[in-house]
Amino acid sequence: MDGPSKSLDGRRLILGVTGGIAAYKSAELVRLFKKAGVDVRVLLTADASRFVTPLTLGTLSQHPVLSEIFPEDEEGTWTKHIELGLWADLCLIAPATAQTISKLANGQCDSMVTAVALAARCPILVCPAMDHDMYLHPATQSNLDRLRAFGYEILPPEHGELASGLVGWGRLPDLDTIVARSSEIMSVRPISDQSLSGKRVLVTAGPTREAIDPVRFISNGSTGSMGFALAQAAAGRGADVTLIAGPSSLPTPAGVKRIDVVSATEMARAVSDNAQADVVIMAAAVADFRPATASHSKIKKKDAVMSLSLEPTTDILKSLGASKREGQVLIGFAMETDDAEANARAKLEAKNLDWIVVNNLREKGAGFGTSTNKVTLLGADGRKEDFPVLDKRVLASRLLDAILG
């Protein structure tokens, strides 16, 4: 294992090590990251120190290893978990035991590892490692799903021989895999970048719901994850960010003002109220049509075929383009299934946009409900940039680089 192929000089990594047998591999992880130029700070749970010593990891990382939130006989350490959470470009928890995963999923912070994770503004990458049945237990799977909903990334364990002697799922992912994924995340512009300081950024995200009756509606499969990632990326660069979100269970990114809406009409009103932003990113999947008449009572099922009359919703993006002020940057999104680039280019021109981000629902790794996306960025000046399949948080930062850099 030679580590990542490109230098990560200056990147800052928190490595949280928890109490499983795979903790012994953390020493090699530290070595690989240090070789690539990463500044590594190691955190240990109490049980992790049974498998690997603080002296070993401290020597390799060249920093003291922290375990307790309030270590004895050390002044000025009670805010250390906050400082580390703001300092890092990535918080990597490897191995992550079932116990620590449960604590993270429920907001418990009885160790430096869990306290820093709760305070961190950077991406968090969790690498589960445990026995097969523990990993597949519904409680563990539910906790992992909850972490994903928080925005954590889970690097699934591998299948193979386990410490118990069983063969199954639960092995810590290969160290090269962990280092490669960590490197991709840390290659994004560091959290210390404040290039948008003093700028107002408006982001829309998620679907809208257009009522048929009090219990039924027209909508789509958008979760809002791309827009939330863009809001998080902009806030991380110092922007004053307002996020207008359709129905979404995603947590509000740190430092972001959130306005929740339901319908396209509500979103149009909220956008109009906040349209004086320096940068407007319209990532929401706004419904194009709504029922012409919504019933005030639940429509009862009948044997006869029901007919639904639809009317167009307000074209929010077109309205923004028509009233765009000098110096304002307006970015639209387009999801297509056929002739994606041609349709997006026509939308770019018709709605007076500066940029449009287009993806194709038919392409693997793109679309609704995925942690990744694959897009093409088109500019009003004729520029074009194709992006590979990327984690949405990584893609968000690279889009900002291309659009604003």
pLDDT band at residue 360, thresholds of 50, 70 and 90?
Answer: confident
Query: Of 186, 210, 232, which residue is a domain's last?
Result: 186
Is 5 a domain residue?
Answer: no
Do residues 172 and 259 share a domain? no
DSSP 280-324: EEE--B--SEEESS--SSPPPP-SSPP---EEEPP-HHHHHHHTP
Question: Residue 4: inside a domain, yes or no?
Answer: no
Give the DSSP per-residue string, 42-80.
Answer: EEE-TGGGGTS-HHHHHHHHTS--B--SS-TT-TT-TTH
pLDDT at 1: 53
Is a pLDDT exceeding 80 seen at residue 241?
A: yes
Same domain, 214 and 360: yes
Domain boundary among 158, 186, 214: 186
Residues 354 and 246 in one domain: yes
Rg (CA), the chain: 23
Instruction: Say if residue 85 is in the same domain as residue 158.
Output: yes
Lowest-confidence region among 50-64, 157-171, 177-191, 244-258: 177-191
Does 75 score more than 70 pLDDT? no
Question: Per-residue pLDDT tens for 256-307?
Answer: 899 999 999 999 999 999 999 999 999 999 999 999 999 899 988 876 677 8
Looking at the fold, whether 147 and 51 belong to one and the same domain comes out as yes
SS3 labels along 195-230: CCCCCEEEEEECECCEEEECCEEECCCCCCHHHHHH
Residues 220, 274, 343, 352: which is the catalytic one?
A: 220
pLDDT at position 233 is 87
Q: Are residues 34 and 75 in the same domain?
A: yes
Q: What is the pLDDT of residue 76?
A: 47
In a domain, 162, yes or no: yes
Q: Model confidence at 71, in pLDDT bands (50, 70, 90)?
A: low
Q: Which domain holds residue 244?
A: 200-404
Q: How would residue 371 be classed by pLDDT, with cut points 50, 70 and 90?
A: confident
Residue 154 lies in a domain: yes
Residue 172 and residue 80: Cα distance in Å, rounded? Answer: 28
Domain-terminating residue out of 164, 186, 208: 186
Judgement on whether residues 232 and 367 belong to the same structural domain of the protein: yes
Q: DSSP code of 115? A: H
Q: Note if 143 is an active site residue.
A: no
Task: Give the span between the Cα atoms of 261 and 206, in whole angstroms.
Answer: 10
Compare 305 and 50 and report the one with higher pLDDT.
50
CATH number of the structural domain spanning residue 170: 3.40.50.1950
400 CB-near residues (< 8 Å, 6+ apart): 196, 230, 233, 234, 237
- Asked whether residue 174 falls in the same domain as residue 299, the answer is no
Q: 8-49 pLDDT, tens per residue? A: 777 889 999 999 899 999 999 999 999 988 999 999 999 998
Q: Is the model's pLDDT at 362 over the cut of 80?
A: no
Residue 229 sits in a domain whose CATH number is 3.40.50.10300
Same domain, 311 and 278: yes
Q: Pairing state of beta strands 200-205 and 240-245?
A: parallel
Q: Are residues 79 and 104 in the same domain?
A: yes
Q: What is the pLDDT of residues 200-229, one digit of tens each?
A: 999 999 999 999 999 999 999 899 999 999
139 and 245 part of one domain: no
Task: Looking at the structure, tell me whether residues 58 and 92 fall in a common domain.
Answer: yes
Residue 2 belongs to a domain: no
The number of domains in the chain is 2
Q: Does residue 373 lie within any of the structural domains? A: yes
Of 107-111, 190-194, 297-301, 337-341, the least confident: 190-194
